[in-house]
Structure 1
Amino acid sequence: MKRMLSLLLLIVATVSVLSACSSAQAGAMEKFVIAYLPSESNDSAAKLNKDFEDKLSEAIGLPVESYKATSYNAAIEAIKNGKADMATFGPFSYIVAVDRAKVEPIVGVSLPSLAEAPASVIIVPKDSDIQSIADLKGKTIGFVDPVSTTGHLFPKSMIVDELGIDPEELETNFFSNIQFAGKHDTAVLGVVKGQYDAAGVSGMYPAMLAAKGLIEEDSYRVIASSGPLNATPVGIRSTMPEETKEKLKSFLLGYDNEEYFENLFGMPDAKFIEVKDSDFDNIRDIAKKLNLSTEDLLK
Structure 2
Amino acid sequence: MKKSILSIVLLIFLSTIFGACSSEKSASSKDITMVWYPNESGNDLKGARDEIGKIIEEATGRKVEHKLTTDYAVAIEAIANGNAELAFMGAQGYIEAKNKSKDVEPVVVPSGASGTLDDAVYYSWLAARAADAEKYKTNGEFSIDNIVDSKFSFVSNSSTSGFKVPSTDIVAHFSQQDQWKDLTPEDLMEGGKFFKEVMYGDSHQGSAVNLLSKRADVAAFCDTCVANYIEIADGDENRPGTVYRVKDDAEEPFNTLPGEEFTLISVTPVLNAPFVANLSSLSKEDLEKIQEVFTSDEVANNEKIFVPEDSEQAGLFKKTDKEKFVIADDAWFDPIRELSK
- Greater per-residue strand proportion: 2
Q: How much does 1:265 deviate?
A: 2.4
The answer as to 2:204 corresponding to 1:184 is yes
Corresponding residue for residue 126 of structure 2:
122
The Cα RMSD (Å) is 2.9
Going from structure 1 to structure 2, the CA distance change for 1:78 and 1:40 (only over 3 Å counts) comes to closer
1:220 pairs with one of 262, 266, 273: 262
Bigger-Rg structure (1/2)? 2
Going from structure 1 to structure 2, the CA distance change for 1:224 and 1:124 (only over 3 Å counts) comes to same
Going from structure 1 to structure 2, the CA distance change for 1:145 and 1:82 (only over 3 Å counts) comes to same
Alpha-carbon distance between aligned partners in 1 of 2:47 and 2:260, rounded to the nearest angstrom? 32
Q: How much does 1:40 deviate?
A: 5.5
Aligned ranges for residues 62-141 of structure 1 at < 5 Å? Answer: 62-102=62-102, 103-112=104-113, 115=119, 119-128=123-132, 129-131=135-137, 132-141=143-152
Corresponding residue for residue 260 of structure 1:
305
Larger deviation, residues 267-276 vs 36-45? 36-45
Q: How much does 1:249 deviate?
A: 1.1
Tell me, yes or no, if the aligned pair for 2:212 and 2:260 is still in contact at 8 Å: no
Q: How much does 1:207 deviate?
A: 5.5
Corresponding residue for residue 3 of structure 1:
none
Aligned ranges for residues 179-258 of structure 1 at < 5 Å? Answer: 179-205=199-225, 208-211=228-231, 212-213=247-248, 214=250, 219-226=261-268, 228-239=269-280, 240-254=282-296, 255-256=299-300, 257-258=302-303
Tell me, yes or no, if the aligned pair for 1:118 and 1:203 is still in contact at 8 Å: yes
Alpha-carbon distance between aligned partners in 2 of 1:170 and 1:31, rounded to the nearest angstrom? 41
Going from structure 1 to structure 2, the CA distance change for 1:40 and 1:107 (only over 3 Å counts) comes to closer
The answer as to 2:195 corresponding to 1:175 is yes
Alpha-carbon distance between aligned partners in 2 of 1:71 and 1:52, rounded to the nearest angstrom? 21
Which ranges in structure 1 are unaligned for 5 or more consecutive residues?
Answer: 1-15, 289-299
Corresponding residue for residue 161 of structure 2:
150
Going from structure 1 to structure 2, the CA distance change for 1:83 and 1:40 (only over 3 Å counts) comes to closer
Which ranges in structure 2 are unaligned for 5 or more consecutive residues?
Answer: 1-15, 138-142, 232-246, 251-256, 308-313
1:231-252 alpha-carbon deviations (Å, 9 max, x no partner): 3211101212211111111121
Tell me, yes or no, if the aligned pair for 1:110 and 1:232 is still in contact at 8 Å: no
TM-score, length-scaled by structure 1: 0.79
Q: How much does 1:29 deviate?
A: 4.6
- Greater per-residue helix proportion: 1
Larger deviation, residues 195-204 vs 112-121? 112-121
Alpha-carbon distance between aligned partners in 2 of 1:282 and 1:145, rounded to the nearest angstrom? 19
Going from structure 1 to structure 2, the CA distance change for 1:47 and 1:221 (only over 3 Å counts) comes to closer
Alpha-carbon distance between aligned partners in 2 of 1:251 and 1:206, rounded to the nearest angstrom? 28
Q: How much does 1:285 deviate?
A: 0.5
Larger deviation, residues 126-135 vs 30-39? 126-135
Tell me, yes or no, if the aligned pair for 1:105 and 1:275 is still in contact at 8 Å: yes
Corresponding residue for residue 293 of structure 1:
none
> What code does the residue aligned with 2:125 have?
V
Alpha-carbon distance between aligned partners in 2 of 1:241 and 1:144, rounded to the nearest angstrom? 33
Tell me, yes or no, if the aligned pair for 1:185 and 1:209 is still in contact at 8 Å: no
Tell me, yes or no, if the aligned pair for 2:129 and 2:261 is still in contact at 8 Å: yes
Tell me the secondary structure at the aligned position of residue 51 of structure 1. Answer: helix
Q: How much does 1:209 deviate?
A: 2.5
Tell me, yes or no, if the aligned pair for 2:151 and 2:218 is still in contact at 8 Å: yes
Alpha-carbon distance between aligned partners in 1 of 2:259 and 2:267, rounded to the nearest angstrom? 18
Tell me, yes or no, if the aligned pair for 1:142 and 1:200 is still in contact at 8 Å: yes
Q: How much does 1:130 deviate?
A: 3.4
Q: How much does 1:271 deviate?
A: 2.1
Tell me, yes or no, if the aligned pair for 1:57 and 1:64 is still in contact at 8 Å: yes
Tell me the secondary structure at the aligned position of residue 75 of structure 1. Answer: helix
Q: How much does 1:147 deviate?
A: 0.8
Tell me, yes or no, if the aligned pair for 1:110 and 1:230 is still in contact at 8 Å: no
The answer as to 2:326 corresponding to 1:284 is no
Corresponding residue for residue 291 of structure 1:
none
Larger deviation, residues 193-202 vs 253-262? 253-262
Q: In percent, how many aligned pairs have the same letter?
A: 26
Corresponding residue for residue 296 of structure 1:
none
Q: How much does 1:204 deviate?
A: 4.0
> What code does the residue aligned with 2:285 have?
E
